[in-house]
Chains A and B, each alone.
Chain A
């Protein structure tokens, strides 16, 4: 500092003091904010973990429609959604998907967006017990997202918390 005016040194120190105060203020605010969010998360309980491929069973749907759903998958670069199901009771399943009240629809549990029944199912009215069949849907507005929860709705029955592949 030889040769440097005292007033300059003071000015420099003054800036440091101001910068340090601002740093503590910002850091303190962030710490309080972080602590608040952490407390909120802890109080809210653990985050829901969605395991892709999760497929609950609906005894009501099986009894009414004669089918057991096996998976929902997002496919074709996200442009389509596939629903697959196994026939348990061929008699009851014969009309599955063919009428409004037997047509499955998919509902995103994140957004409530719906993909409705499509005409690209692969079966006619003759289905065999134990065989698996599919329905392809338009993934309207990318409604169904991979690894996210979906509800399968058929008529007035719902199967919740299916997780799409």
Chain B
């Protein structure tokens, strides 16, 4: 009888029981590893983080908060946060599709009137009426757009995003102060027909036709800004500030100064500064038979500036191809290719650039099949760079002189990218900070880098 009863527990039930016991044992073995989950763990570590939704309707709430700088300072800032989210800097990257009617509800919790302007967008409405500059009774300009009044006011802006491109949104009220305080963000309009193109247009060059198609896994945004901490302290304390005394002390990419720039998106130690700017790519490869190494499309880097100064940004190692400026694709009326390669992009206040970037192993150097035809001197006769792996070949590490240290873990390449106005790569006088980031090129997939 016992056997008959047990036989009523069918094979699936027995297997399930064994499985449950195994899981219990695994739990007992592992226990807690003490890992604290990150606030943004679902984000990819690198690349542009879009805030988007099907209705292209966003609620932005102004908030005050603090950011940290690598020299140990905390700077009081303002920002637009999505809905009830806490303060963040910079404000969210809003991504919409061409043709969307974009609606932005601005709720203002600050003690100053605040607005939003959308450079590059047409026929913007504010509470259903044309968004226009505002004047006081004396005829003095008070704001470039209708405001959400201080301490709880609201304003709804809307427009049709009819031109793909990279744009800013920023405060139009007391902009010299409010934009420096952090009331700005990036707006990305994607072509409706090609979400992985930067623009709709195709360019013709001889018999070749070019598009702005990019690798969606390698889309980056770099939003350049600057901070005068004395201004911020005055605002925090409710004190007056004379703009004639304005002097930038910190320079930031995506709200961070180097070396925080190369930290991942959502880095736990930067809770209010969620966006990194490490350009993380793999070598170009247009051979469909290359398996995981197949990587035919370039990275897209969207550059923007909300600073008051020119930023001559300068990625080492490779030129970038500028395909658009200020949301205008560089294609002639007859389809002429007017894009161009540039080593240093002079990013002026309020400007944006869209640039395609790829790293290609053009010569296919290989230590066995295609060695570099140079006799490499003995180790002691070489000077090594910080990022040299001991081998010139991507994905290969080799011997280094005793005591030589480099920043390289799997034969990857690092190309620094920095502002060439050298005072802008400092943090209140401390050198090698500010507008610096890196491009990291890993060996072709599959590799053992991660």
Hey, which bits of chain A sit against chain B, CB under 8 A? 13, 16-17, 19-20, 23, 26-27, 30-31, 33-34, 37-38, 41, 47-53, 70-71, 73, 75-80, 82, 84, 86, 116-120, 122-124, 130-134, 136-142, 147, 165
Contacts and interface: CB of A to CB of B under 8 A. Distances in A.
B279 to A, nearest CB: 11
Given A53-B268, A165-B269, A75 B259 contact: yes
B36 A51 contact: yes
Contact of B25 (A30, A132, A134, A142): A30
Interface residues of B, number: 54
Closest 10 CB pairs of A and B: A132-B72, A49-B34, A16-B7, A30-B21, A122-B432, A20-B6, A138-B407, A47-B31, A50-B34, A76-B262
B440 interface: yes
Interface in B20-72: 21-22, 24-25, 28-29, 31-36, 45-46, 70-72
A66 to B, nearest CB: 15
A47 B28 contact: no
Contact of B21 (A34, A116, A140): A34
Nearest to B429: A128
11 contacts: A23-B14, A47-B33, A50-B34, A53-B268, A53-B269, A76-B440, A116-B405, A123-B430, A132-B71, A132-B73, A138-B409
Interface of A is mostly: mixed
A75 B409 contact: no
B267 A27 contact: no
A79 B34 contact: no
A138 B406 contact: yes
Interface of B is mostly: loop
A20 B17 CA distance: 13
A133 B71 contact: yes
- The listed residue with most A CB atoms (<10 A of its CB), out of B34, B36, B262, B278, is B34
Contacts of A34: 21, 24-25, 28
